[in-house]
């Protein structure tokens, strides 16, 4: 009787298995669902999912079967977008890692279930383990069975508890639900799940990494029970990849962090919502919701429009007009052929907005007058001005590998330039107002314009020459000999002072002399703007000699010559 009961039990289980196998065998191949090859990259899988989910999304497609197709697409993406699930599926045909149903064997053409592995009680129908039931030599063959013991996770290549619970709604698996296939831990058809690849943002991270950091963020707010999460995650990832480096992405689970979502006003309603932390409206940053369609192109356009805009788009003339004599922050300008401010430069302007003043200008090519005047010999180029007015070419011919690496390289350049600016600032004395300024296109008229009777210009061609001239002129300029403030004497004796970089402003020197004083590393030029006359001193540059020359100029003991043309910066 016991043997009969045992046999009946076995056949009963086999009956269940046959039904289970028939159900499992109907499960769709995720590769075929998404229309990709088995060696497809994550990028290819993501693009395929995005295209199909957009086509069959219930909000867009009301055709019969679209909902079911959309669920299949989501389930397929859930498997292939997860490295572990995909590996399990490729190995076992089951995303959970359970041994699955294999096809026919090459020897006997029979299908079989594989063993559940060590620690799992299971049985195996294997063609190479056939045994004779009718005795040796019998032609009657059957599968051998092996029931292990001592494991609570008994398995026939799948969870046995699932089999019973799926059919009878309980008993062997407490987590299973009545009337459905699969346990309660799996995703229901078409239901949402938590984004896997987006950084999870909570209150602490929001305050630490997002608020007023100068970085643009794309945030997905959701609740795990919502449909379409994977679609929103997919388009968010697509935009993130295309703007890599200029954009950070994250997700906020409003079921877990409901207080943060309420505080920010980003609670999702019937579906997930997308927000951009933008500096377009406010310099301190604010959250703006994307309300367009779930299309990558539209979302990317929205994000790009809300990237930082701290760089001023100007012409060279506008830039020179805005260049003050005394500056607190260093300035940087990007020269490129782009019609609009490049994404990388906008991202940098956000990151360094409190440390630099940003400009950018469009040039046609390196032969463009602006490029030539600023000394750029390849494009794109970045030109910097220290707070004392000194100009430097930070980088010419910037290689644009990808947004992230280029952004990193430019950040390194700006960091180095900032350190140099701080070093120069720290060496300046408290009497900065008395320091001799470096002449630029922006301040030349103020220092050596027609309102100034005499302008003493110290010309240098090396950093050493500049340092020496600057020290001497600063000292001499403060002596009563050349700073007569007596009202009775009038402004005729007033003198202004400036330094000029002869290595970069040779064209201005040609206005005085056709040789441009090329043979002199250091010299002084006494320039009378109103009369368009000048006198040059190319002798030994010492404090005594410089003082003697300037005194002679003021006393009328120096012969002046007519300038060849009006000196201007080009």
CATH number at residue 489: 3.40.30.10
pLDDT along the chain (570 residues), means of 10: 53 50 58 90 85 81 84 86 85 66 37 35 37 36 36 38 36 34 35 74 95 94 92 92 90 95 94 93 86 92 93 89 66 94 93 94 94 92 88 89 83 94 69 71 88 92 88 81 39 76 88 86 92 92 90 89 89
Strand, coil or helix: 466: helix
Q: Are strands 454-460 and 522-528 parallel, antiparallel or unpaired?
A: antiparallel
Domain boundary, last residue among 127, 147, 168: 168
Q: What is the pLDDT of residue 3?
A: 55
Coil, strand or helix: which one is 347?
helix
Structure tokens at 310: 């701290």
Task: Please tell me whether residues 298 and 324 are part of one structural domain.
Answer: no
Structure tokens at 396: 């010419």
What whole-number distance in Å separates Cα of residue 129 and Cα of residue 252?
53
Tell me: do 295 and 413 sit in the same domain.
no
Q: Which pLDDT value is given to residue 132?
A: 33
The answer to the question of residue 498 being in a domain is yes
- 160 with 38, same domain? yes
CATH code for position 52: 1.10.287.110
What local confidence, expressed as pLDDT, does residue 504 receive? 87
The predicted structure's pLDDT at residue 491: 39
Residues 243 and 109 reside in one and the same domain: no
Residues 283 and 317 in one domain: no
Shared domain check, 205 and 235: yes
- State how many domains the chain has: 4
In angstroms, the CA 253 to CA 295 distance is 22
With respect to residue 144, please indicate whether it lies within any of the assigned structural domains: yes
151 and 228 both lie in a single domain: no
d(CA 459, CA 436): 12
Quote the pTM value: 0.53
Domain range spanning residue 483? 444-562
φ, ψ at 36 (rounded to 5°):
-125, 160
Do the beta carbons of residue 77 and residue 86 sit within 8 Å? no
Query: What confidence score (pLDDT) does residue 102 get?
Result: 40
């Amino acid at each position: 009787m016991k043997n009969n009961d045992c046999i009946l039990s076995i056949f009963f289980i086999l009956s269940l298995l046959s039904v289970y196998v028939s159900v499992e065998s109907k499960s769709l191949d995720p590769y075929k669902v998404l229309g990709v090859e088995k060696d497809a990259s994550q990028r290819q899988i993501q693009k395929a999912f995005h295209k199909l989910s957009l086509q069959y999304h219930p909000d867009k497609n009301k055709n019969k079967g679209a909902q079911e197709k959309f669920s299949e697409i989501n389930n397929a993406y859930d498997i292939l977008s997860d490295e572990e699930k995909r590996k399990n599926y490729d190995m076992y045909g089951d995303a959970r890692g359970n041994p699955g149903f294999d096809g026919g064997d090459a020897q006997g053409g029979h299908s079989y279930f594989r063993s559940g592995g060590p620690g799992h009680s299971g049985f195996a129908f294997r063609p190479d383990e056939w045994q004779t039931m009718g005795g040796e030599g019998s032609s009657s063959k059957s599968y051998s069975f092996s029931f292990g013991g001592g494991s609570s996770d008994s398995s026939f290549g799948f969870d046995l508890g699932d089999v019973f619970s799926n059919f009878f709604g309980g008993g062997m698996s407490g987590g299973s639900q009545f009337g459905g296939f699969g346990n309660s831990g799996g995703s229901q058809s078409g239901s949402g799940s938590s984004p896997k690849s987006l950084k999870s943002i909570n209150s602490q991270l929001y305050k630490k990494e997002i608020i007023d950091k100068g970085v643009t963020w794309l945030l997905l707010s959701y609740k795990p029970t919502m449909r379409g999460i994977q679609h929103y995650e997919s388009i968010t990832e697509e935009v993130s990849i295309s703007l890599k480096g200029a954009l950070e992405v994250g997700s906020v689970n409003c079921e877990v962090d409901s207080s943060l979502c309420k505080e920010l006003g980003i609670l999702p309603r019937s579906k997930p919502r997308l927000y951009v932390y933008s500096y377009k409206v406010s310099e301190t940053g604010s959250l703006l919701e994307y309300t367009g369609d779930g299309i990558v192109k539209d979302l990317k356009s929205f994000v790009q429009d809300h990237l930082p805009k701290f760089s001023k788009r100007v012409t060279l003339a506008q830039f020179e007009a805005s260049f003050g004599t005394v500056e607190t922050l260093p300035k940087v300008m990007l020269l490129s052929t782009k019609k609009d401010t490049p994404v990388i430069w906008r991202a940098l302007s956000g990151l360094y907005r409190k440390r630099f003043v940003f400009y950018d200008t469009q040039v046609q090519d390196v032969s463009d007058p602006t490029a030539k005047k600023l000394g750029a010999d390849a494009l794109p180029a970045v030109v910097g001005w220290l707070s004392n007015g000194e100009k430097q070419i930070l980088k010419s011919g910037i290689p644009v590998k990808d947004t992230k690496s280029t952004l990193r390289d430019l950040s390194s350049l700006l960091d180095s330039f900032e350190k140099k600016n701080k070093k120069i600032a720290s060496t300046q004395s408290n009497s900065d107002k008395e320091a001799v300024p470096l002449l630029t296109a922006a301040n030349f008229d103020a220092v050596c314009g027609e309102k100034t009777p005499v302008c003493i210009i110290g010309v240098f061609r090396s950093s050493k020459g500049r340092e020496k001239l600057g020290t001497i002129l600063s000292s001499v300029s403060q002596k009563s000999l050349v700073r007569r403030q007596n009202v009775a004497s009038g402004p005729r004796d007033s003198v202004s002072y400036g330094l000029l970089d002869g290595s970069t402003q040779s064209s201005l020197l040609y206005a005085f002399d056709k040789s441009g004083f090329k043979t002199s590393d250091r010299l002084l030029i006494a320039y009378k703007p109103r009369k368009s006359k000048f006198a040059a001193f190319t002798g030994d540059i010492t404090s005594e000699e410089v003082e003697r020359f300037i005194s002679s100029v003021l006393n009328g003991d120096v012969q002046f010559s007519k300038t060849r043309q009006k000196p201007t910066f080009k």
